[in-house]
Each structure stands twice: as C-alpha cells, then as structure tokens.
Structure 1
C-alpha cells in the first residue's frame, strides 16, 4: 500500500492508497501518488483537497441565468479573465434580470472595451456570443429547465443554439454540483492521454459521451467525486503547460 499524508491547520491526515502496480481500470495502473499525473496522484490530490475545511464552490453566478451567461462568455478561445470580465460587465448592466435584452443590445455591450487587470481589452466573438446569449436567456424565460440531475439539465441546455456538450456540462456541474457529467477539454484529454485512462483516437468533437463515460469510470475506480476530479485536474494541467508539454513529448504524444 502507498501511504498519503497531508497537514492542514496543524492536523495530520493519513490515508492508504493501492500499490502503484495494481489496476484502477483494466490495463490502467494506479501509479505512484507522487507521480504527476498518474491516477494515484489525482486520487491523492482530491483527498488532500477534501481535508480543507472550505468546500469548493463551482458557481459563477447567483442565478441559473447568470451561470449560463458566465459559461457561455468563457470557454474556447476566450481567456478566463476576459470571460469573467465580460460576465461582470453584463451583470452590472442588468443583462440577467427578468427582461431579456435584445441581441443588438447584448452586442453593443459586448463590443465595449473591458477593463482586464488595468488594460483595455476587446471581447472576441461579440456578435456570435450576443446571438447565443440572447437565445439562451430567452429559452430560460420561456421554459422551465429540469433540475433533477446534471444530465437532464445538460441535455436541455444542448437544445440552445451555440451550447455544446462542454458548455452544457460546465453549467450543469456548476449549478447543481453534478457528478453525472464531465467537462472535457484539451487539459483533461492530455491528462487522460498521459495516464492512459482514455481510449486512443477519441476526440471531444466526435466522441464526447464515450470520453465522458471513461472519465466517470476512472472517478469510480479512484472513489472520488467526478466534479472534484474534473476541477482539480483541469486547474493543475492548465497551470503547468511546460511540464505537461514535456511529458507529452517524452511519451510521443501530441500536445493538441
């Protein structure tokens, strides 16, 4: 057995993890808990984070409208700080109140320069996102979304123009703390490639549900909540690009 130890506020927490050579999934070894980014490493990291008295809060908005807006304004091609600045800007202008702004109004608001860390930044894809956001806010007003599960909400959100599996899953995870969906992007794919828990040749664009099921199987094997594993894995992989690219190169894997 491997022994994990973490110190939090002068308290010592200990836990045993399976041997590095044992399998978490068929053909996938646990690996060492100190070996980034092995399955055992992720299991240890989630457990260590669980000892923190402050729980993870995924929500970005104070209402489902705001959550949809925050996630739609972020995502592919939009740096996180720019997406959050655009979201805060629209919140200040009342975009997520009861009356839905017109598409033209949203476009004007998104076309205005944003203050990001003291710099004036233009929001990319303003016209496209204004159209998607107007459609999303209109649907939230016209119909009652199902909140019984993450997948139910995710599937409902997929009917909105411009909302794909990743964005819909992101909203569902954040709003419901859902553990029956996964937010899959390039960082999670790289983690899966390095640890071997994703089948080769699968892509988010064509095989999202297959990859999601493999991710959920890993979470069950590690006995961790998928929402916590997803968030922690994304953050650490995103925060260490040089290390990740070096590991991918050593393994003969593509970075993209």
Structure 2
C-alpha cells in the first residue's frame, strides 16, 4: 500500500492506494503516486482537486451558450482564444434572447481581432465556425435535452453541424457534470497513452467510443470521477512544456525535438546516490511511461493539481 497525504482546504487528508506493482486495469500498473503521469499520480491529483459541484464545469448559463463555448473552443483553438471568442458571442446571444445568431452576425463578431491577454489575435476559420454555430444553434431547438440521458444527449448533439463526439461530450460534461462521457482531446490522449490505458496508435477519429470505454473503465477501477479526472489531466498536461514532458516520459511518447534533451533525472539521481539514498538511474527499468529516480519525494511537485 502507498499513502498520499495532502492538505486540502483547511484540513489534511489521506488517500490509500494499492502497491505500485498492482494493476489498476489489466496491463496498467498503478505506479508510484510521486512519479509524474503514472496512474497513481493521476488518481492522487484528481483526489486533491476536490469534489466539484456540477455547475463548476459550466462556461455558459444555458445549453445554447454551452454549445457556443465548446464549439468555438474546440478544433485546435487555444483555450484562451476560444474563451475570448465565446465571450463576444455570448454577449450577442444575451442581447437577442432567443438562443439564435445569424451566420453573418457571428462571422462579423469572429472576424474582428480578439483581445487575448493584451494581444490582438485573429480567430481562425471564422467564416466556417460562424456558419456551423448558426446552424447548430438552430438545430438545438429541436433537441429535447431534458428528456435525454447524458450519452443520449451527446449522440443527439453529434447530429448538429460542426459538432463531433469530443465537442458533444464536452458540452454534456460541462452542462451536467457528467461522468458518463469523456472529452478525449490531445491532452487526455497523451496522458492515457503514457499510462498504457490507450495503445500508442490510438486515434479518437477512428475509435472514439472504444477509447472512451477504456477511459471510463480506468476511472471506475480507480474509484475516480471521470469528469474530475478529465479536467485534472487537461489542466496538468497543457501546463507541461514539451521540454519538461520529454524529460519525464519514455522515448516512444516524446515530442519530436531537434535540440539535445538531457536524460531526465540524471543529476538528481547522482545527487541522491551520493547521499546514500536508493536511486534508480536511466539504465533501470522505469515505471510505465515515466522517468523518475528512486523512491524519494518525486518531481511531481512541479506538476500542480488542477
């Protein structure tokens, strides 16, 4: 057994996890919680994130606003740019009051430069997104969301223009705090490949439902809420620079980088060995998908919970 001790709010909490060598799901070892990107690391980070209220995930006040936020924030748009575009669209929706927005109005709003942290940024594919947004908002009126369970609502949203399984899942998770769907974006895919929950060649474009099933099965086995795990992975992975990421994962999962990357943990391991502390060097077999030295306090302190 391994025990996680953390201060959460005004109190200290304790989380007991299985031994690192045990599997959380077949073929995926728990690993050590202080080793970044192991299963135990993610479960402990999600636990430290706390228990959110369903409304904590929401970006919009209505389902129409949530649809606009997720449609504009997906498809490779950086989160900050998507939120800036959504803020402009939400104001226009509020002024109209009917949940609709003509394509030409949306295009004009999205074409004008956005203010993102004091920088003027152009929103990509403004014309296409404006058309999809207008058509999706119109189609949303024909979906009786209150009569549908989470997965059924996700499938209904997928029939709308510009909305695929990831965006539809994002809308449902945000609106309902749902644990029945998964938002398999690039950050979640990368984290799950490193853990071994997904195979290295996993492609959500060809097998979203099966990958979602694997992710939800992992969360269930780990006794972690899928919505919280998803949000924790997203917030953590997007905050890791490519250079740091390449230092803590095995070669098959690394970003391509022409610069020389120092072996992760080499200096730390040498220092620990000099102090007589048991250390694991780069020649030793690492945890699945991770590089870390020994059993001391890990470098996970650089990776803060969401």
TM-score, normalized by length of structure 2?
0.78
Query: Secondary structure at the residue paired with 2:57?
Result: coil
Distance apart, 1:186 and its partner CA: 1.5
The Cα of 1:247 is off from its aligned counterpart by: 3.5
Answer whether contact 2:68 2:86 (CA < 8 A) is retained. yes
Aligned to 2:69: 70
Q: Distance in 2 between matches of 1:254 and 1:6?
A: 30
Q: Give, in angstroms, the shift of residue 218 of structure 1.
A: 0.5
Quote the residue 1:119 is aligned against.
Answer: 119
Q: Give the number of aligned pairs.
A: 253
Distance, in Å, in 2 between the alignment partners of 1:7 and 1:61 is 31
Q: Equivalents in 1 of 2:143, 2:81: separation in Å?
A: 30
| Aligned counterparts of 1:203 and 1:194: Cα–Cα separation in 2 | 14
The 8 Å contact of residues 192 and 198 in structure 2, kept in 1 or not, is answered as yes
Q: CA deviation at 1:97?
A: 2.5
Query: Are the aligned partners of 2:143 and 2:156 in contact in 1 as well (CA < 8 Å)?
Result: no
Ranges of 4+ aligned residues in structure 1 off by more than 6 Å: none
Q: CA deviation at 1:230?
A: 0.5
The corresponding residue for 2:215 is: 215
- Deviation of the 1:8 alpha carbon: 2.9
CA distances 1:17-48 after superposition (whole Å, capped 9, x unpaired): 10000110111110001111000111111112
Residue 97 of structure 1 pairs with residue 97 of structure 2: yes
Q: Classify 1:66/1:10 alpha carbon distance in 2 versus 1 (closer, same or farther; 3 Å).
A: closer
Segments of 5+ residues of structure 2 without an aligned counterpart are 257-306
Give the aligned CA root-mean-square deviation in angstroms: 1.9
Contact 2:43 2:222 (C-alpha < 8 Å) held by counterparts: yes
Partner of 2:248: 247
Partner of 2:128: 128
CA distance in 2, matches of 1:94, 1:46: 34
SS of 2:209's equivalent in the other structure is helix
TM-score (norm 1): 0.92
199-208 or 163-172, which deviates more = 199-208
Moved more, 137-146 or 23-32: 137-146
Matches within 5 A, 1:162-241: 162-241=162-241
Cα displacement (A) at 1:55: 4.6
Residue 152 of structure 1 and its aligned partner are, at CA, apart by 1.1
1:42 aligned partner: 42
User: Post-superposition shift, 1:196?
Assistant: 0.9
**In structure 2, distance between residues paired with 1:83 and 1:168:** 16
Answer 1 or 2: higher relative contact order, Cα 8 Å, separation at least 6: 2
Instruction: Provide the rounded CA distance (Å) in 2 between the counterparts of 1:212 and 1:236.
Output: 20
Contact 2:93 2:100 in 1 (8 A): no
Partner in structure 2 of residue 157 of structure 1: 157
Counterpart CA distance in 2 for 1:133 and 1:232 is 28
CA distance in 1, matches of 2:131, 2:61: 22
Match for residue 80 of structure 2?
81
Alignment-derived partner of residue 284 in structure 2: none
